[in-house]
């Protein structure tokens, strides 16, 4: 309950950002940070709580993004419907990937490689079929207005993202406080022991990958509407997959606030490097890689693990002082 | 022994792994409401038999019936749902989760609500003597603590039959003395128990009926007292020479008394 209260507090504060923050560049930074937290939380549902490390979350992201774009451009369908369709189709892709991999008990690096392969297949497909615009990409015509899911101000986009992200975080909270979540974490920690206690790992993992795919897909829809341009590399390329997993690994896998901490930390780092080094191409990936190595070596439980370790130590010293 | 319908009925189960006949035509009826046991030297195929019964392996031949229903070929989780739970010889805690959370996974088999499952976990933890370690990381428990955790998780599922795979192995004599009443209390709640056990003190004091497995075959069954006097059993544990020597000594002793 304390966690839920904290979550409410954080999101209430985030809700007020458009009223408080005036600067356009700051607003963009905050939007991109929240967007990274959404991608990270989506991955965290399957990877952090479920222990299934996907390297191909772009498959869900890109499907959501392309769905809303293609439906608008080719069929003239309202993007609000596209939002629903994008989420649903991403869930479909997640169900398909989940079924083909979990049915045959693929785990660990095998699962990671197969998800990566699926994302790559989709990237190549979207590069060849005509209705996605192939290699040229797809441009969503500018049509500002809430009805066409293109807001005239950044605030509108921000609140849309805020709502989706809130839903993702509430889902993660629910996972930490429900039978489904208990079973998911049991499967992560010891699949055989979980089975012996009546847990069906296949069903549990399927639900997790579909929830995960849903939020990745919705992040894709947001991306498409915000930037109004997609190409196969943006939608299905490895950059999104890497960002999705890096955020919770840095912030703390399998924790509610990990993705938020990770997103803030990574964006802070990338802003600083841009100030210091300038826009050197590829430099952010070099920095991300270095951070990943450092985190895995020294803080495998991420920033939130560090935080809880520090608070535990502070509490102990405080108690020590009292005893002294 | 065979008065009531058995809760578990194993009929002609066989399993071969490559060149090794791990189980050969095993037939046994486990009576409801009692503590029975399965003994045998290392490598006799006891854990394999448990795995065959609980769905972790599929038998090549034979049939397993639980509460009158054929369960051969079902997945472990389906068998667990029907009320038969196994524990693991090599303890399998959900490391990184607290003792309470570990046990709650078992409780969730029949309880949907998280709060109720956690409450049940607390209850069960007290019963097995883990009440003071509820918030501890399961990975930080001692061997004895982890064995209790295995027992607690199984018990939390509200099973009809528990298969305990060496829950006493690795415990010191005083810990064994502590756990034996816990097992008895579980039986007294109406749960049937089948033990795999090497600690003969426990087998003798707890179980009413024992099966002896050697090289994948049942070689004897009966009360623990009878079984441990069976020359086949002594031979399986101690070798042929030792069995003969013991038989001679016993013969000389009784023969001397008669003359």
- Domain residue spans in chain B? 8-222, 223-259
Q: What is the mean pLDDT of residues A12-39?
A: 91
In this prediction, residue B254 carries a pLDDT of 63
In this prediction, residue B136 carries a pLDDT of 93
In this prediction, residue A89 carries a pLDDT of 97
Q: Is the pLDDT assigned to residue B257 strictly greater than 50? A: no
- Under an 8 A CB cutoff, do B105 and A195 touch? no
In this prediction, residue B258 carries a pLDDT of 45
Q: Is the pLDDT assigned to residue B158 strictly greater than 70? A: yes
Q: Is the pLDDT assigned to residue A161 strictly greater than 60? A: yes
Cβ–Cβ under 8 Å, residues A280 and A31 = no
- Return the residue in B47, B93, B94 with the most chain A beta carbons within 10 A, the one to mutate for interface testing: B94
- Return the residue in A49, A195, A196, A204 with the most chain B beta carbons within 10 A, the one to mutate for interface testing: A196
Residues 152-191 of A with CB under 8 A from B: 177-179, 182-183, 185-186, 189-190
In this prediction, residue B255 carries a pLDDT of 54
Tokens matching residue A68: 């809303």
Q: Which of A67-81, A140-154, A278-292, B170-184 is predicted with the least confidence, judged by mean pLDDT?
A: A278-292
Question: Mean of the per-residue pLDDT values for chain A?
Answer: 91
- Under an 8 A CB cutoff, do B77 and A195 touch? yes
Q: Is the pLDDT assigned to residue A2 strictly greater than 90? A: no
Question: What Å distances lie between residue A158 and A61, A146, B188, CA to CA?
Answer: 18, 12, 61
Written as one string, the DSSP assignment of A111-135 is HHHHHHHHHHHHHHHHHHSGGGTGG
Distance to chain B for A263, nearest Cα, Å: 24
Q: Is the pLDDT assigned to residue B2 strictly greater than 70? A: no
Q: Is the pLDDT assigned to residue B184 strictly greater than 50? A: yes
Angle at A323 between CA A322 and CA A324, to 5 degrees: 95
Tokens matching residue A49: 């709580």
In this prediction, residue A121 carries a pLDDT of 96
Contact A32/B at CB under 8 A: no
For B165, phi and psi rounded to 5 degrees?
Answer: -95, 95
CATH 3.20.10.10 assigned to domain B8-222? The reply is: no
Written as one string, the DSSP assignment of A10-23 is HHHHHHTHHHH---
**3-state DSSP assignment of residue A142:** coil
Q: What is the mean pLDDT of residues B29-41?
A: 94
- Please tell me the distance from the alpha carbon of residue A280 to that of residue B97, in angstroms, as a whole number: 43
For A258, phi and psi rounded to 5 degrees?
Answer: -50, -50
Query: Who wins on pLDDT, A317 or A12?
Result: A12
Q: Is the pLDDT assigned to residue B256 strictly greater than 70? A: no
Roughly what angle, to the nearest 10 degrees, separates helices A283-298 and A258-277?
140
In this prediction, residue A323 carries a pLDDT of 61
- Under an 8 A CB cutoff, do B96 and A198 touch? no
User: B225-254 pLDDT, tens per residue?
Assistant: 898 888 888 888 888 777 778 778 877 766
Confidence at B86, pLDDT banded by 50, 70, 90:
very high
Q: Which of A212-216, A248-252, B159-163 is predicted with the least confidence, judged by mean pLDDT?
A: A248-252
What ipTM was reported for this prediction?
0.88
> In the A/B pair of chains, how many CB contacts fall below 8 A?
77
High-pLDDT (> 70) share of chain B, %: 96
Contact B95/A at CB under 8 A: yes
Q: What is the mean pLDDT of residues A142-162?
A: 88
In this prediction, residue B259 carries a pLDDT of 38
In this prediction, residue A153 carries a pLDDT of 84
B163: chain A residues, CB-CB within 8 Å: none
User: B192-208 pLDDT, tens per residue?
Assistant: 999 998 888 888 889 99
Give the closest of A186, A192, A200 to B105, CB-based.
Answer: A186
B157: chain A residues, CB-CB within 8 Å: 197-198
Which residue is associated with the tokens 């005893």?
A323
Q: What is the mean pLDDT of residues B128-143?
A: 92
- Under an 8 A CB cutoff, do B108 and A182 touch? yes
Helix (H), strand (E) at residue A197: none
Q: How far apart are the first and last CA of chain A?
A: 34
- Please tell me the distance from the alpha carbon of residue A127 to that of residue A109, in angstroms, as a whole number: 27
- Under an 8 A CB cutoff, do A182 and B96 touch? no
Q: Is A252 left (phi over 0), alpha (psi -120 to 50) or beta?
A: left
For B44, phi and psi rounded to 5 degrees?
Answer: -75, -20
- Return the residue in A175, A193, A197 with the most chain B beta carbons within 10 A, the one to mutate for interface testing: A197
Question: What Å distances lie between residue B157 and A179, A186, A214, A308, CA to CA?
Answer: 13, 14, 32, 32
**3-state DSSP assignment of residue A145:** strand
Q: 3-class secondary structure for chain B?
A: CCCCCCCEEEEEEEEEECCEEEEEEEEEEECCCCEEEEECCCCCCHHHHHHHHCCCCCCCEEEEEECCEECCCCCHHHHHHCCEEECCCCCCCCCCCEHHHHHHHHHCCCCCCHHHHHHHHHHHHHHCCCHHHCCCEHHHCCHHHHHHHHHHHHHHCCCCEEEEECCCCCCCHHHHHHHHHHHHHHHHCCCEEEEECCCHHHHHHHCCEEEEEECCEEEEEECHHHHHHCHHHHHHHHCHHHHHHHHHHHHHHHHHHHC
Domain ranges of chain A: 2-237
Q: What is the mean pLDDT of residues A160-187?
A: 96
In this prediction, residue B11 carries a pLDDT of 94
Q: Is the pLDDT assigned to residue A230 strictly greater than 50? A: yes
Name, in order, each residue with C-beta under 8 angstroms of A93's C-beta and a sequence gap of 6 or more: A59, A60, A63, A118, A122, A213, A217
Confidence at B4, pLDDT banded by 50, 70, 90:
low
In this prediction, residue B13 carries a pLDDT of 94
Tally the residues of chain B: 259
User: A67-123 pLDDT, tens per residue?
Assistant: 999 999 999 899 999 999 999 999 999 999 999 999 988 888 999 999 999 999 999
Cβ–Cβ under 8 Å, residues A115 and A101 = yes
High-pLDDT (> 90) share of chain A, %: 65
Q: Is the pLDDT assigned to residue B163 strictly greater than 90? A: yes
Contact A197/B at CB under 8 A: yes
Which residue is associated with the tokens 């608070």?
A311
Q: What is the mean pLDDT of residues A243-267?
A: 92
Q: Which of A98-102, A195-199, B62-66, B170-174 is predicted with the least confidence, judged by mean pLDDT?
A: B170-174
């Amino acid at each position: 309950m304390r966690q839920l209260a904290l979550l409410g507090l954080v999101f209430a504060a985030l809700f007020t950002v458009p009223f408080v923050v005036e600067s356009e560049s700051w607003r963009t930074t905050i939007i991109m940070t929240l967007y990274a937290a959404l991608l990270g939380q989506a991955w965290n549902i399957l990877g952090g709580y479920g222990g299934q490390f996907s390297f191909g979350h772009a498959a869900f992201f890109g499907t959501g993004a392309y769905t809303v774009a293609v439906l608008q451009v080719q069929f003239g369908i309202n993007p609000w419907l596209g939002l629903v369709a994008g989420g649903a189709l991403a869930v479909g892709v997640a169900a398909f990937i989940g079924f083909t991999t979990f049915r045959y008990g693929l785990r660990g690096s095998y699962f990671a490689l197969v998800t990566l392969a699926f994302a790559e297949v989709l990237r190549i497909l979207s590069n060849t079929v005509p209705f996605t615009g192939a290699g040229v990409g797809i441009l969503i015509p500018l049509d500002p207005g809430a009805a066409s899911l293109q807001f005239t101000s950044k605030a509108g986009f921000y609140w849309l993202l805020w709502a989706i992200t809130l839903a993702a975080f509430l889902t993660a909270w629910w996972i930490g406080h429900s039978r489904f979540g208990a079973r998911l974490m049991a499967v992560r920690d010891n699949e055989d022991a979980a089975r012996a206690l009546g847990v069906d790992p296949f069903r549990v993992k399927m639900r997790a990958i579909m929830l995960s795919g849903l939020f990745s897909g919705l992040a894709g829809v947001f991306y498409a509407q915000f930037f109004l341009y997609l190409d196969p590399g943006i939608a299905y390329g490895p950059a999104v997959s890497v960002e999705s997993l890096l955020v919770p690994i840095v912030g703390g896998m399998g924790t509610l606030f990990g993705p938020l901490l990770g997103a803030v930390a990574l964006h802070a780092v990338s802003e600083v490097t841009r100030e210091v080094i300038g826009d050197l191409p590829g430099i952010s990936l070099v920095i991300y890689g270095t951070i990943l190595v450092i985190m895995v070596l020294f803080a495998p439980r991420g920033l939130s693990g560090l935080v809880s370790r520090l608070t535990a130590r502070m509490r102990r010293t405080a108690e020590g002082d009292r005893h002294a | 022994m065979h008065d009531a319908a058995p809760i578990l009925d194993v009929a002609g189960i066989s399993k071969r792994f490559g060149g090794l006949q791990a189980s050969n035509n095993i037939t046994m009826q486990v009576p409801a409401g009692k503590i029975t046991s399965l003994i045998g030297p290392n490598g006799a195929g006891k854990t394999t038999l448990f795995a065959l019964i609980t769905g972790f392996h599929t038998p090549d031949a034979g049939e397993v019936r639980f509460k009158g229903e054929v369960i051969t070929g079902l997945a472990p989780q389906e068998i667990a749902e029907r009320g038969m739970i196994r524990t693991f010889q090599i303890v399998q805690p959900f490391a990184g989760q607290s003792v309470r959370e570990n046990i709650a996974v078992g409780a969730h088999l029949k309880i949907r609500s998280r709060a109720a499952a956690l409450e049940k976990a607390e209850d069960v933890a007290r019963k097995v003597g883990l009440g003071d370690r509820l918030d501890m990381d399961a990975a930080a428990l001692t061997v004895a603590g982890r064995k209790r955790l295995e027992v607690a998780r199984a018990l939390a599922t509200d099973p009809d039959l528990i298969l305990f795979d060496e829950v006493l192995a690795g415990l010191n004599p005083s810990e064994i003395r502590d756990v034996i009443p816990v097992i008895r209390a579980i039986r007294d709640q109406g749960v049937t128990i089948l033990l795999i056990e090497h600690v003969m003190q426990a087998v003798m004091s707890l179980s009413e009926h024992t099966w002896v497995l050697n090289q994948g075959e049942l070689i004897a069954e009966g009360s623990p007292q009878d079984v441990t006097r069976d020359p086949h059993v002594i031979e399986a544990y101690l070798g042929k020479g030792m069995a003969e020597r013991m038989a001679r000594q016993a013969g000389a002793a009784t023969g001397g008394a008669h003359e």
